[in-house]
Structure 1
């Protein structure tokens, strides 16, 4: 009998060494080191690291101080904006609107409005600052600025970085019914993105994200699985896999852990256990709880589906 698997590692620092370097610079209050690290990254990596810094609850004073000292530095402004958005979302929580109190909404909106003030200044001074535009897509959703405004912000970003997966994921969220969109709009946007990327690009995961959002709308795995096993959903998910994770040009760049984790969940819900097990194996001991959180505790759900995939689909 195979030895029990260790618990998955969900920390981004385990998959991306730049995250550890960024967290170390942040903990030390070393702005030159943090700025240099961000400058070294491509737009995808910079957005990833900015999101990670922004999600650090105790980073507020440091980032406010840096922005006060360097008010015209686009990275200082982008980091502060990301922090304010992250702090606001932590207050709001990931619950649906009917379960969020008026006080939570008020504090959430206040944080996002403050973030907007900072980020508007950044994008006005530096219109090609992709990472700031990515943050503004997120804040547009939280402030209920509407579909057209969110798309306008995305288009400003895409003019400089047309295949920015993190920004596409954020706009996809905006286009789902829970944020005022529709499944037709969501799937149309996904097709637009996926048809434009080169073979092997990770962006085809957007197809899976859209179908999982639709399938998991009610939070029931059994209902989701039945939906995903439908002829159209299954065919499009397999096509997305052929374009990305099954393509010889697919690389483990930024977001690869989330991409493989998302495909693994879809295959598991479809009861295609061998492809699911292959994706979990490719992850090693890494994982992402993104999408699994629709079903409850993301970490527990990831481990549950991984164990089931290995039991039914074979464990390497």
Structure 2
């Protein structure tokens, strides 16, 4: 490249125009506006935007009032539950358990138990609510309720939404060894989701994510060797053909994350042409995805990988 590229824009508002109005409505405590923005969306968009809105750190009093005013409101309950879960995870941090203090764990579990109470009520009243079940799958992991309970929650959701990627991605984490799962179960579930989804759907990214999880469990050299092994490489390319390379692939909510996962995998595989294709498709956008697994500064690593892909992948 003739000049260094700008750092990637990780803000979801840059990729999805609905994000800024949702944030503004929540900041203004404007429930009618927030409801108008989030109601009537498909399950994927609604789950995604609820997750973004839940990041607002001062929203709990407002959301509690909305729930108190109308306990049957699925959107209000799901937003409050998602907010409490994210608040709890901020306290816990993303570090492995041995680096989290007892006090952090106590506060973390307190937030998650409160979220569980709210979300149980939502799913009892609205058993087809994909966003609420997705949050309950994530909460199952934090509360350490086990593999069987996590799968039970997912199966309840899948009765109504069989290809709901946010829920599948959350359950995949539960099936990894770091959450008391096994690689066999993680890979099996990822393949199950990829094969069941329609061609062009993004779900095949889970196959790549599972391989990255296993690869990055060791050092960088081991990760590259693992990903470049014939069977793994073949699976990753097959996943790309089912999703990001398929003519029916669409830039719907979450697409930047999907392409970021593929881009990262291809760079680690030293397949710079395919990696560059994903970076080009993202333009100035990006997602932290799993870049933080290698370097605490996800933006810095994303830029390094992108520059390497462009230089060695023939992008002028």
TM-score, normalized by the shorter chain, greater than 0.5:
yes
- Residue 243 (structure 1) aligns with: 242
Q: 1:57 is paired with a residue of what secondary structure?
A: coil
Measure, in 2, the Cα distance between the counterparts of 1:104 and 1:301.
Answer: 29
- Residue 222 (structure 1) aligns with: 221
Q: 1:17 is paired with a residue of what secondary structure?
A: coil
Aligned residues: 315
1:42 correspondence with 2:33: no
Q: CA deviation at 1:314?
A: 2.1
1:70 correspondence with 2:70: yes
Q: Which moved more, 1:33-42 or 1:113-122?
A: 33-42
Q: CA deviation at 1:222?
A: 2.3
Measure, in 1, the Cα distance between the counterparts of 2:12 and 2:21.
Answer: 12
Once the two structures are superposed, what CA deviation does each residue of 1:241-294 show, in whole Å capped at 9, x if it has no partner?
A: 010111111111111100001000000000001110111000000000011111
1:305 correspondence with 2:288: no
- Residue 287 (structure 1) aligns with: 286
Q: CA deviation at 1:315?
A: 2.1
Structural mapping, 1:28-177, within 5 Å: 28-177=28-177
Q: CA deviation at 1:197?
A: 0.8
Once the two structures are superposed, what CA deviation does each residue of 1:141-198 show, in whole Å capped at 9, x if it has no partner?
A: 0000000000000000011100000000000000000001000000111111111111
Q: CA deviation at 1:125?
A: 1.0
Structural mapping, 1:168-187, within 5 Å: 168-187=168-187
Following TM superposition, the consecutive aligned residue runs of length 4 or more in structure 1 with deviations greater than 3 angstroms are: none
Measure, in 2, the Cα distance between the counterparts of 1:221 and 1:41.
Answer: 41
Q: CA deviation at 1:3?
A: 2.5
Contact (CA 8 Å) 1:53, 1:59: kept in 2 or not?
no
Q: CA deviation at 1:221?
A: 2.5
- Residue 27 (structure 1) aligns with: 27
Contact (CA 8 Å) 2:77, 2:118: kept in 1 or not?
yes
Contact (CA 8 Å) 1:56, 1:83: kept in 2 or not?
yes
Measure, in 2, the Cα distance between the counterparts of 1:222 and 1:266.
Answer: 13
Measure, in 1, the Cα distance between the counterparts of 2:299 and 2:69.
Answer: 39
Q: CA deviation at 1:2?
A: 1.5
Q: 2:246 is paired with a residue of what secondary structure?
A: coil
Q: 1:40 is paired with a residue of what secondary structure?
A: coil
Measure, in 1, the Cα distance between the counterparts of 2:190 and 2:106.
Answer: 32
- Residue 259 (structure 1) aligns with: 258
Structure 1 gaps of 5+ residues are none
Once the two structures are superposed, what CA deviation does each residue of 1:39-97 show, in whole Å capped at 9, x if it has no partner?
A: 13100001001111112212222212222222221111000000000000000001001
Contact (CA 8 Å) 2:7, 2:299: kept in 1 or not?
no
Contact (CA 8 Å) 1:50, 1:79: kept in 2 or not?
yes
Measure, in 2, the Cα distance between the counterparts of 1:302 and 1:40.
Answer: 35
Q: Normalization by structure 2: what TM-score?
A: 0.98
Measure, in 1, the Cα distance between the counterparts of 2:157 and 2:274.
Answer: 34
Contact (CA 8 Å) 1:140, 1:149: kept in 2 or not?
yes
Q: CA deviation at 1:312?
A: 1.2
Q: 2:170 is paired with a residue of what secondary structure?
A: helix
Q: 2:114 is paired with a residue of what secondary structure?
A: helix
Structure 2 gaps of 5+ residues are none
Contact (CA 8 Å) 1:264, 1:277: kept in 2 or not?
yes
Query: Which structure has more RCO (C-alpha within 8 Å, separation ≥ 6)?
Result: 2
